[in-house]
Structure 1
Amino acid sequence: MAVFMGLAVGTLTSDALLHLIPEAFGIHKHSEDDGHDHGSGEIVIESFVWYAFAAIGSIYVFYLLETIFGMAGHSHTWPSDDDDDEDKVGKESTSNGVGKESTSNGVGKEGTNVGNWVNEPKKKKKNLNHLALMIIIGDGIHNFADGLAIAAAFTQSLTEGVGVTIAVFCHELPHELGDFAVLLQTKMRFRNAVFWNMASALTSFAGLYIGLSVATDPLARQWIFAATAGMFIYIALTDILPKLVHPPSMTIFIMTNVGILIGVTVMILLSIFEGHIKIT
């Protein structure tokens, strides 16, 4: 999972900066437009590739700095935000008399996880069901956008399609596993969690078919690429990367960096050798 989380960050960010944004802005020219014969053996690297690589490098360097400085400044196990919240709730609940003696109220031996739900068990169940519904709907919309992006990419070129597909796969695997785990935590049955997870994934085919018909228009394709780039950057830098800044061990840190470097390398190679990739 650490490798796939790193792969997701590397592929999503690199795909957005190396492929999607240049396509959306109209600065990426293909062989039929730029006058270069990519199939003649000559490797043509456009200037925006280096600028995008510099942006990716700066993101990676600052990620390393924040993680290494954090590891050097903390000799104990990495704390999480949840631990801090639980400590705060534990102190508050203890002061309110919800301590170890609260077992008679059905809370348990420790009052650190009770929060505001000590006297409202029905409200907790309602919130969990609401959470499951939000996950299913949000995942369906997300998968629809992924299908739309894949369709638009393949209508542009083979390398664009391959790059977007790799990025989608690398971030969808840990994302879907995480959603499935959360559905199970909401007390949903295993069979129902599998069904709803697969049902939300099927919306990607709807996005694919709609994208294949709409993305034939170059202007529509540019809008799709722009929206997809924003989605990829948001997922990579706000949803996944913050979870990687505080690794629980050196092994996880190393595996995460292996995933990031592999993802970035794959996307850069696709950008450089796109004119030589053919299906025979």
Structure 2
Amino acid sequence: MSDESNNTPAIGGKNFTVVAINCAAKAGEWIKTKLGNHTSLSLKYSPTDLVTEVDKGSEMMIRNLVQTHFPHHSFLGEEGVEPGPEASAKALNNVRDAEYLWVVDPIDGTTNFVHGFPFFSVSIALAHKGEVIVGVVYDPMRDELFVAEKGKGAYVHGKPMQVGTESQLGESLLATGFPADQQYALPLNMKGLQALAPQVRNIRSGGSAALHMAYVACGRLSGFWEIGLNSWDLAAGSLLVSESGGQVTDMLGSPYELGVRNVVATNGAIHGQLVDELKKVEAAG
């Protein structure tokens, strides 16, 4: 990070952003050493949502580091929550009013990790009274660190990020994901995919919502939408996008908040068009 981190939000002389970066970098490097070494796979919410002991180890490492610096802060991590949307919503409701809440996905893109597909990330956000004030997404395979602070911009490789300039769906590269929930979320996402594919330059599905959001923030993607995500998938990425000049809402166009599960994140210029198209085919959840 360059010197834009000098005036970052701090409490008691300890810098929130520096701690978030440190956690993401240490966890990411540790995850990378485990690539191809996973010994015991267990199934989580569905067969497509694999989890390894690496998830748990990464989360424990981040939690321990955060609590060393900020013992009174609350912590919401994917691994501490039972699978499924109801459990996720309940876990968030239990802590969302905390003064300071760390929202962490220890590996976003576990299925990719298990298969050795190099597109996964560590996502760490800090919310103050429900509003995200720090967001860090780290891609250990490319050693790319995406960092945002509320009101201070967003950076990758220490350089300011800006969203892309595409103004029409026809010139846009979008991303989406294929949800594990095959009853509700997947069919809705497929509706959106079918409607949008003929209208855009192309659509990608990398398998990490946090990295998709980071790619919208730095202009590699024009927009991203997905149904049925969790707070830890989106919290850090939402700040990356908004601090890079983009827009993040739910699928009906309401502003992002921690409880959003169905998301649209774009460069802003195509946001209305994308939301309208998803509503038109009733793919908005």
TM-score where L is the length of structure 1? 0.22
Q: Which has the higher contact order (CA 8 A, sep 6+)?
A: 1
Give the number of the structure whose residues are more often helix, by fraction.
1
Whichever structure has more strand as a proportion of its residues is: 2
Q: TM-score, normalised by structure 2?
A: 0.22
Query: Radius of gyration: which is bigger?
Result: 1
